Amino acid sequence: MNSLVISAVLLAVVCLAGWWRQTVTRNAGHVDVIWTFGVGGAALFYLLVLPADGDLLHRVLAALLIGVWSVRLGTHIWRRVHGAEEEGRYRAIREHFGERVNAFHLFFFLSQGLLAWLFALPHWLLSSHPGGSTFFLWLGFLIGVMALMGEALADRQLHKFRTNPSNRGKTCREGLWRYSRHPNYFFEWLHWFSYPLMAVGAAGAQWLWLAPIMMFLFLWFVTGIPYTERQALKSRGEDYRDYQRSTSVFIPWRSKS
Cα–Cα distance measured from residue 223 to residue 230, given in angstroms and rounded to the nearest whole number: 12
Cα–Cα distance measured from residue 179 to residue 83, given in angstroms and rounded to the nearest whole number: 32
Q: Quick one: pLDDT at residue 2? A: 86
Cα–Cα distance measured from residue 168 to residue 157, given in angstroms and rounded to the nearest whole number: 15
243 SS3 class: helix
Looking at residue 52, its amino acid is: A
Contact 46, 100 (CB under 8 A): no
Average pLDDT per block of 10 residues along the chain, 257 residues long: 89 96 91 96 91 86 97 94 84 87 94 96 93 93 97 95 91 95 97 96 92 94 87 90 94 86
Q: Quick one: pLDDT at residue 249? A: 95
Cα–Cα distance measured from residue 183 to residue 252, given in angstroms and rounded to the nearest whole number: 7
Average pLDDT taken over every residue of the chain: 92
Contact 153, 175 (CB under 8 A): yes
Cα–Cα distance measured from residue 139 to residue 123, given in angstroms and rounded to the nearest whole number: 17
Cα–Cα distance measured from residue 190 to residue 105, given in angstroms and rounded to the nearest whole number: 30
Q: Quick one: pLDDT at residue 184? A: 96
Cα–Cα distance measured from residue 69 to residue 21, given in angstroms and rounded to the nearest whole number: 25
Q: Quick one: pLDDT at residue 34? A: 96
Backbone angles phi, psi at 242, to 5 degrees: -65, -40
- Give one DSSP letter per residue of 18-63, joined into a string: HHHHHHHH--TTHHHHHHHHHHHHHHHIIIIIS---S-HHHHHHHH
Q: Quick one: pLDDT at residue 257? A: 65
Per-residue pLDDT tens for 66-79?
Answer: 999 999 999 999 99
Q: Quick one: pLDDT at residue 194? A: 97
